Amino acid sequence: MAPSRPKSADPHTKAADTPRPRERRQRVQSAVTGMAVLKGLARLGGRASLTALAAQIDESPAKVHRYLVSLVEEGFVAQEVGTQQYHLGFEALQIGMAAMRQADPIRLAEASLVRLREALEVTCFVAVMGNKGPTIMRFEEPGLPVTVNVRAGSVMSLLWSATGRVFLGLLDEKPMQAQAEEELAEASPARLAQLDRKDPIGALRRAVQADDCAWVRDTNLTGISAVAAPVRDYTGRVCAVLTALGATGGFDPSIDGPIGSAVRREARTVSTALGFATPAV
């Protein structure tokens, strides 16, 4: 008996199992719209009425409602019975918490430090506020480094370094204020002459708050200039500071100069990766 031939696949079954290009496009578009609804709800503070949410994403309330029904079923959105407002649900909370656990400012700043070093050929670092003061965590040097006596682990001055001034100006914490007052009491007359006579610490804080960054020239180290910008977490709190420094003769520390602009841009990039939404101007 001749061996039986293998049965050929049913073309109708294959067609039924494989989504057509149009169906695939529709599914992708549905996913895009669903994500737009979630992002719109997040931009509205995580809670909104159907009308406000539809206006936020520029879609009809009827269309948005259809997507909200599915999102509620999957736990990404919930609806409050009393107000009928929609808010982010448990599954959205789980995703947010997972993202927050990965939000390490030191790790996220590494790429920015490399870009600053390679594009500007400057020494740069990221610092966080430690129990002894602003502490350098990552340090990058160009091919021809500037000789400075700071490295990873070094603690910076609050009053005399650009890094410290950013923390001092943008964080309102009593221990830090006390540390700044100690530095002020120990300062030499030459250093004191660089500050406002009536309100030295207050004037520094106001200047940093006005510019949202800080710069120094021959203040912390003779012959060294620096510019620093804040890194903010998703709450807007300053959690780290990016700083670039170089020899005063060839280093422009002005906040709107090429180096200052690059440092501020990279600080914003890291802040965005941490979940901080830059306020609209």
* Tens-digit pLDDT profile for residues 43-63: 888 899 999 999 999 999 999
Distance CA 142, CA 146 (A): 8
Distance CA 234, CA 251 (A): 32
Low-confidence ranges of the chain (pLDDT < 50): 1-2, 5-9, 11-15, 281
Q: Judge whether 281 lies within some domain.
A: no
Measured over the CA atoms of residue 71, residue 76, residue 80 and residue 84, the dihedral's sign is negative
33 and 121 inside one domain: no
Q: Judge whether 72 lies within some domain.
A: yes
- pTM exceeds cut of 0.85: no
Q: Judge whether 179 lies within some domain.
A: yes
Strand-pairing partners, residue 244, are 124, 227
Q: In the listed set 73, 92, 111, which residue is the last one of a domain according to the structure? A: 92
Contacts by 36-44 with C-beta closer than 8 Å and gap 24+?
Answer: 37/64, 37/67, 37/68, 37/71, 37/77, 38/71, 38/76, 38/77, 38/88, 38/92, 41/77, 41/86, 41/87, 41/88, 42/88, 43/277
42 and 158 inside one domain: no
46 and 150 inside one domain: no
Q: Judge whether 214 lies within some domain.
A: yes
29 and 126 inside one domain: no
Number of domain units in the chain: 2
Q: Which amino acid is at 225?
A: S
Q: In the listed set 67, 92, 117, which residue is the last one of a domain according to the structure? A: 92
141 and 269 inside one domain: yes
Lookup: tokens for 194: 């660089």
Q: What is the pLDDT of residue 261?
A: 96
124 and 38 inside one domain: no
Nearest CA among 213, 124, 133 for reference residue 166: 213
User: For position 261, which CATH number holds?
Assistant: 3.30.450.40
148 and 106 inside one domain: yes
Contact in structure between 262 and 228 (CB atoms under 8 Å): no
Question: Can you tell me which residue has the tokens 């409602």?
Answer: 65
The parent domain of residue 254 ranges over: 101-273
250 and 134 inside one domain: yes
195 and 64 inside one domain: no
Q: Judge whether 279 lies within some domain.
A: no
Distance CA 72, CA 78 (A): 5
User: For position 60, which CATH number holds?
Assistant: 1.10.10.10
79 and 115 inside one domain: no
Q: What is the pLDDT of residue 60?
A: 93
Q: In the listed set 36, 61, 92, which residue is the last one of a domain according to the structure? A: 92
Distance CA 273, CA 71 (A): 25
Distance CA 29, CA 233 (A): 32
* Tens-digit pLDDT profile for residues 211-223: 999 999 988 777 8
234 and 262 inside one domain: yes
Q: CA end-to-end span of the chain, whole Å?
A: 84
185 and 55 inside one domain: no
> For 176, which DSSP code?
H
